Amino acid sequence: GDSVTQMEGPVTLSEEAFLTINCTYTATGYPSLFWYVQYPGEGLQLLLKATKADDKGSNKGFEATYRKETTSFHLEKGSVQVSDSAVYFCARIMNRDDKIIFGKGTRLHILP
Amino acid sequence: EPEVTQTPSHQVTQMGQEVILRCVPISNHLYFYWYRQILGQKVEFLVSFYNNEISEKSEIFDDQFSVERPDGSNFTLKIRSTKLEDSAMYFCASKLAVTNYGYTFGSGTRLTVV
């Protein structure tokens, strides 16, 4: 069935390291793709989105490109900060649908 | 910035008891949702609500679950007779319009059934 698969965590990096969190999806059609972030004690916040193939979403130094050919939407950041420590969720919505399908989430720890 | 507020942040209940999880969506939003995340599992859709009725519900949302918008500001999720497997983080969300991007999520209620 339709799903979102993201890399298992936790991911632990040193400050200023390069970050990649992999995400792939399955869907019958062309979904809109999202990354959500949950900081400790807070709700799910939309980090970035892409609505069609080859779109690049970006926010706060994070980027992800909608790759139709590989059905992927990997999250990247060139230089992470301690404040980026959070749980990151990859997600998709089909345009005919109204509910979000989430991945399991990847916990990111950034060490000073 | 407007927020979706959920209370309580953590609730412990005995198996078989009824629980009501409360949410105050953003005041001018029209679409309301409940999602849940069992520890270590995916965040899963439970139910959507619009115009005072359920729009869609998942297989999880069986007869033990109900939702209500009793007073125009609160949006509640009731579990009639809790089971151990209902232990999870429950997220409320709202959005203004039917477009897919404008969800605002609350910080969640962690429900522990003992």
Say if the Cβ atoms of B108 and A43 lie within 8 Å: yes
- From B42, B58, B104, residue closest to A102, measured CB to CB: B42
Chain A residue closest to B43 (CA)? A102
Question: Looking at A13-27, A60-74, A85-99, B9-23, which range is the least confident one?
Answer: A85-99
The tokens for A85 are 């420590």
| Partner A contacted by B43 (CB < 8 A) | yes
Residues of B in contact with A46 (CB under 8 A): 101, 103
Question: Which pLDDT belongs to residue A12?
Answer: 97
B25–chain A Cβ distance below 8 A for any pair: no
Spatial distance between the Cα atoms of A17 and B24, rounded to a whole number of angstroms:
39
Q: How confident is the model at residue A1 (pLDDT cuts 50, 70, 90)?
A: low
Distance CA A108, CA A81 (A): 11
Instruction: Give, as one character, the DSSP assignment of residue B112.
Output: E
**Spatial distance between the Cα atoms of B43 and B33, rounded to a whole number of angstroms:** 12
In A5-98, alpha helices (H): none
Q: Which pLDDT score, from 0 to 100, does residue B97 have?
A: 82
Question: What are φ and ψ of residue A72, in 5° steps?
Answer: -130, 160
Peptide bond just before B2 cis, omega within 30 deg: no
* Percent of residues, chain A, with pLDDT higher than 90: 72
Tell me how far apart the alpha carbons of residues A14 and A81 are, in angstroms, rounded to a whole number. Answer: 8
* Probe site for chain B from A4, A48, A102 (most B CB atoms < 10 A): A102
CA distances from A50 to A81, A89, A111, B28 (A): 24, 14, 30, 26
The answer to whether residue A96 scores a pLDDT higher than 80 is no
**Residue corresponding to tokens 């990354």:** A35
